[in-house]
Structure 1
Amino acid sequence: MPSPTIVPNWNFDEAVEAEAAKQLKNAMKGFGTDEAVIIECLMKYSTEQRIKIAETFKQAYGQDLIEELKSELGGDFEDTCVAMLTPPRLLDVKELNKSISGVGTDESTLVEIMCSRSNEEIQEIKELYEKENECSLEDALMGDTSGYFGRLMRALVQGGRDTDDVDYTRVEEDAQKIFDAGAAQLGTEEAEINSILCVRSFDHLIDVFAKYEELSEGTSLEDAIKSETSADLQDGFLSIIQCAKNKQKYFAMRLNKAMEGFGTDDSDLIRLIVSRSEIDLGDIKDEFQQLYEKSLEEAIESECGGDYKRMLLALVQGNH
């Protein structure tokens, strides 16, 4: 079973809601803000419970909690608190919209969200995206991506991945199609690879990868993708393969990428930690330690600062 770091507070009731709302109000009362109280209050509860606290805050004080936090806080700490008060799929919608708005496209965020979410989550994202932006997610993606990468996004946005058990009669056929589309010919037939990676269940794909390695005499599909494709399409194909093999390892690599090199991609770091904290961040921490021989906490300590760092560490260390 996946291991979250943040779990619901099992003593949660209307009295606890009211007390938490009061604590948050007092933390922002008068001159200055008590950030330590905000951190302690928000991390003790699940997103669903935080949203209920925000509703109680509005009823009690006639103010929107998110707007109050925005007026009192700033920078990455503010962004983390707002993310923690945003329903998970709505957070995905906001991140997707940010990735395709303005000049340029954040393809890596598009890939991460579209490759790692379930069919049900994709459907919810699509509904919320249209409600929030008055255009379909598919149209938005098609207006901002093109070529084979655009086709990959269009395939993934359908949310039509198989959920059945492994179809052993089709495994060899799929592996052969991928082999014939790449290593067995000059150039690559991306559409054939796309049609398998975007539709088959992850369990089925694991067997396809193993069969492919047999056909290619020891070359993994990941290595073949690296040699046959490039740029965003390569990133997309590799992300699907990595999610199928070990989703927690994939997210550990994404976290490392957000913190490596000069500067930190705080938007990615916030999204990854907040969105996985109630799902499998405990497992992601283990994968991170194995991959990089340091803890996720140590990485955050060295790359982040202030109240922002303290909030991220609170989410990583957990409330149980």
Structure 2
Amino acid sequence: MQGMVNKTKTALKTEEMVTASDDDMWWGTLGTVRPFPDFNEEKDALQIQDALKEKDVGTLVRILTNRTNAQRQSIVKAYHTLTKKDLAPALKKALSGDLESLLLGLLMLPGQFDAHRLRQAMQGLGTDEETLLEVLCTRTPQQLKDITATYKQEYGKDLEKDLMSETSGDFTKLLQALLKRENSTGVIDEDAKDLINAVNGKKADVAVWIRILTTRDPDHLNKVFYRWEVETGKTMAQALQQHFGDTSGDLQLGLHTLVSCIQNPSLYLAQRIHSMKGAVVQGILVSHSEEDLLSVRVDYRRLTGTSLYSTLQKAYKGHLQEALLALCRSEDL
């Protein structure tokens, strides 16, 4: 068993070095998972078929964590052509627990995975508001449209209606607005003035804050936040605590999360990962590995004084550790 683990680690390092040699093609990317050079979906599908027969989990981890989502989709098709069977059910039979959910997540399209996470957050005894906010606050308007359409296709349900049934009050209105998010620009001074006026009465006008924070692009909003701080002498975090501290906890959490994502989304994600909750770590590494995980790693190091790679090494073991490290990719010194 130890020999197999060592072989897997060696293979992961080998594939990482090969992938790293292809950096010229990915100049400027903030993702950690990059296209595997000399990619051959038929070869990968055949190796996966053999690995499933032999219960060689290390090979499954090595291949699926070292291919981009587009390449994994090609492998899924090649596997079906080869075996006349779907790959996901085959993985379910061979795996279990967190590793199963991680590798199955890697097989999903990005919009599918986000829709899946939202669905999971609304199932069970309680609603996971933090995961709902993470997905809705870190996605672009176009991605949110894709997620909404995918959710309908996958589950036969309307995402907005499900959100409304699981939440209440102004928090529901915030989630609805996030789902229909826009990236328009306004007049900086006017938006800052509207935010200030909205909290000058006995009760803060939540609707104004929701409208401005969900219909403007991040660059514009950061300028509005700066204007707010100049005019009031308070940070946005202080403003949320002072003016929305007596509102429902969910609403305050929602506004705080949204502002955090507008100001520095990678720092927000690093803070989320720091909990080391399995579902949170998996969700962020899978959904951000081709987008901005390098930035998340940098902010995690600044936040904790420790690299994300080292933290994952200590927090997890076995094949799950190998899979997470492969997505994280490397140490930050």
Using the size of structure 1 for normalisation, the TM-score is 0.90
Q: Give the equivalent residue in structure 2 for 1:9.
A: 36
Counterpart check, 1:187 vs 2:207: no
Q: Give the equivalent residue in structure 1 for 2:42.
A: 18
Higher relative contact order (CA 8 A, sep 6+): 1
Aligned partner of 2:196: which letter? F
Aligned partner of 1:213: which letter? E
The answer to whether the Cα contact below 8 Å between 2:182 and 2:217 also exists between their aligned partners in 1 is: no
Q: Distance in 1 between matches of 2:183 and 2:171?
A: 18
Q: Give the equivalent residue in structure 2 for 1:86.
A: 108
Q: Give the equivalent residue in structure 2 for 1:200.
A: 216
1:194 shift after superposition: 0.8
Q: Distance in 2 between matches of 1:2 and 1:287?
A: 16
Task: Output one character per residue of 1:288-310: Cα deviation in whole Å (capped at 9) or x when no partner.
Answer: 00111000012112222221111
Alignment equivalent of 2:293, drawn from 281, 300, 314? 281
1:2 shift after superposition: 4.4
Q: Distance in 1 between matches of 2:64 and 2:325?
A: 13
Q: Distance in 2 between matches of 1:294 and 1:61?
A: 44
Counterpart check, 1:121 vs 2:148: no
Alignment equivalent of 1:211, drawn from 212, 216, 227? 227
Q: Give the equivalent residue in structure 1 for 2:11.
A: none
Q: Distance in 2 between matches of 1:294 and 1:89?
A: 31
Counterpart check, 1:174 vs 2:191: yes
1:140 shift after superposition: 1.0
Q: Distance in 2 between matches of 1:43 and 1:141?
A: 32
Q: Give the equivalent residue in structure 1 for 2:253.
A: 235
Residue segments in structure 1 that go unaligned for 5+ positions in a row: 260-264
Q: Stretches of 4+ moved more than 6 A in 1?
A: none
The answer to whether the Cα contact below 8 Å between 2:35 and 2:67 also exists between their aligned partners in 1 is: yes
Q: Distance in 2 between matches of 1:113 and 1:191?
A: 21
The answer to whether the Cα contact below 8 Å between 1:285 and 1:296 also exists between their aligned partners in 2 is: yes
1:280 shift after superposition: 1.0
Secondary structure of 2:31's counterpart equals coil
Task: Output one character per residue of 1:149-175: Cα deviation in whole Å (capped at 9) or x when no partner.
Answer: 00001111113332x5xx4xx211111
Task: Output one character per residue of 1:251-305: Cα deviation in whole Å (capped at 9) or x when no partner.
Answer: 1111113x1xxxxx21111110011101111111111001110000121122222
The answer to whether the Cα contact below 8 Å between 1:181 and 1:192 also exists between their aligned partners in 2 is: yes
Alignment equivalent of 2:306, drawn from 294, 298, 316? 294
1:43 shift after superposition: 1.9
Using the size of structure 2 for normalisation, the TM-score is 0.86
Secondary structure of 2:264's counterpart equals helix
Secondary structure of 2:53's counterpart equals coil
Q: Distance in 2 between matches of 1:150 and 1:223?
A: 23
The answer to whether the Cα contact below 8 Å between 1:2 and 1:283 also exists between their aligned partners in 2 is: no
Q: Distance in 1 between matches of 2:310 and 2:201?
A: 46
Q: How does 1:143-158 map to 2 (within 5 A)?
A: 143-158=165-180
Q: Give the equivalent residue in structure 1 for 2:75.
A: 53
Secondary structure of 1:8's counterpart equals coil
1:214 shift after superposition: 1.3
Counterpart check, 1:268 vs 2:280: yes
Q: Give the equivalent residue in structure 2 for 1:262.
A: none
Counterpart check, 1:224 vs 2:246: no
**RMSD (CA atoms):** 1.4
Q: Give the equivalent residue in structure 1 for 2:12.
A: none
Q: Give the equivalent residue in structure 1 for 2:8.
A: none
Q: Distance in 1 between matches of 2:202 and 2:139?
A: 33
Q: Give the equivalent residue in structure 2 for 1:255.
A: 273
1:135 shift after superposition: 2.3
Identity percentage over the alignment?
Answer: 30
Q: Distance in 1 between matches of 2:78 and 2:101?
A: 21
Counterpart check, 1:246 vs 2:264: yes
